[in-house]
Amino acid sequence: MTNCIFWHNTDRDGMLESSQISVELLDMNYTCVEGLTGGLGGTGNIGDDPLLADPDGGDDIPGTDDDDLRLASSSPCIDRGENGAVPPSVTTDLAGNPRIAGDSVDIGAYEFQPAPIPTASDWGMVAMTLLVLAAGTVVLMRRREVACNSQ
Ligand SMILES: [Ca+2]
Ligand SMILES: [Ca+2]
Ligand SMILES: [Ca+2]
């Protein structure tokens, strides 16, 4: 088992590692597990909160269609997975976005998609917007001058 997240599963003991996974002889690597003790062995495993966007969704009920299991931009699962464990046939994540984005594959079913680098035309739009704002400010200042002079 590789590149998986096991978080907030509960049993009679609470939300321990054993509440998330209770399989012996398990080969687990590059996986995020709540309550990770290290007792399960493996490499690259983490126990930090994966910072899922809204795991129970807008209805606050886990397991329904509106659950949002994407990673927040500050998630420790970003770029912490093992690329070699991704089958060549898997090119997209559950949302249909590229399965491997950024430096490496993410832990979990959804790949965090970094913001695209602005293109020359994007910067042109920014410059244009600033010019329009600056021109608007000059007009406003002139109007204020007129208003003051007429008092
Ligand atoms: Ca829900
Ligand atoms: Ca919610
Ligand atoms: Ca990534």
Q: How far apart are the first and last CA of the chain?
A: 77
Q: Residue 77: nearest ligand to its CA? A: 3
| CA 62 / ligand 2 centre spacing (Å) | 8
Distance of CA 54 from the midpoint of ligand 2 (Å)? 5
CA of 80 to the centre of ligand 1 (A): 27
Please compute the mean of the pLDDT values over residues 70-97 and round it to a whole number: 97
pLDDT digits (tens, 9 = 90+) for 39-68: 889 999 999 999 999 999 999 999 999 999
CA of 69 to the centre of ligand 2 (A): 11
| C-alpha of residue 55 to centroid of ligand 1, in Å | 7
- State the pairing for strand pair 68-71/5-6: unpaired
The average pLDDT across 95-112 equals 97
H helical segments located in the chain:
17-20, 120-149
Phi/psi zone of residue 125: left (φ > 0), alpha (ψ -120 to 50 degrees), beta?
Answer: alpha
